[in-house]
Amino acid sequence: MMKRLLLTLVFTAVLWVGLWAQSTALVLLNDDPDTIVYEISGAVYDSRDISIYAVNVGQEQLKVLWKVVDVSVPDEWGFVICDNNLCYSEGVNVCPEDAPNVLNRNDTLKVKMTTLNKGVPATGVYDFIVFDKANPSISDTVRLVIIAKKTVRTTGVLRAPSVGVFPNPATDYFYLKGSAGAVHTIELLNIVGERLRLYRTDQNAFYIGDLHNGVYFVRLRDASGKLLRVLRLRKK
């Protein structure tokens, strides 16, 4: 009898926790990390619009706030954010508490984050966080990795679509495919832009077996050091 009562209590507790979690869920729909790679022209204001979506999948109404944390971003960069309610001035990185985004069940918050790279090529990393005003523990975070690179013009030996990496995902080694004749050095970067490896193209295979699983970037340069292309590589 006691054993049956104990099992009943445990089952009830698990069910209650599950229902509570269902009723208070806030989920970001972007990939994590969400990686954006694009070319910049060198103009005073180079920009890129990034759409971020959060959904209230619970039962209760949420008053959702957001904030942006600069994890690793060049000083020259900036951003402008618009949410369901307002568009804010450059550099505003926190949703005002008196202007939350009200989400009923299955409602979506759409945030447009326009990065202002101002002609500075670099890798920037932001954490975008959404949370409930009444209960900040109801939250979710997506990491945005933004690689802004100068437009590179070559003589036609290597064009952007003509070279890639395979297999992708890779386990122990990756290889170049396509017209890789102009590639002289290959750099492997982590998601915050730190260089982990430097390979030469007189190698046929590039070892990554000792690295942690995750997303990396392969940066290709010609013999003069000019950047040719940045490729995304997943290690599994």
pLDDT at 209 over 90: yes
Instruction: Check residues 220 and 33 and name the one with the higher pLDDT.
Output: 220
Q: What is the pLDDT of residue 148?
A: 82
Peptide bond into 100 cis (omega under 30): no
Q: In b/e form, how buried is each residue of 164-187, taking b as 16+ CB within 10 angstroms?
A: bbeebebeeebebeeebebbbebb
pLDDT at 5 over 70: no
Q: Residues 135-171: pLDDT tens digits?
A: 999 999 988 888 887 765 444 444 444 788 888 889 9
Model confidence, pTM: 0.55
Q: What is the pLDDT of residue 42?
A: 55
Q: Residues 65-124: pLDDT tens digits?
A: 999 999 999 998 989 899 999 989 888 999 999 999 999 988 999 998 888 887 788 888
Secondary structure E strands in 101-154: 101-103, 108-116, 122-132, 139-150
92 within 8 A of 19, measured Cβ to Cβ: no
For the chain, which domains are there? 26-150 (2.60.40.2310), 160-235 (2.60.40)
164 within 8 A of 54, measured Cβ to Cβ: no
Q: What is the pLDDT of residue 68?
A: 95
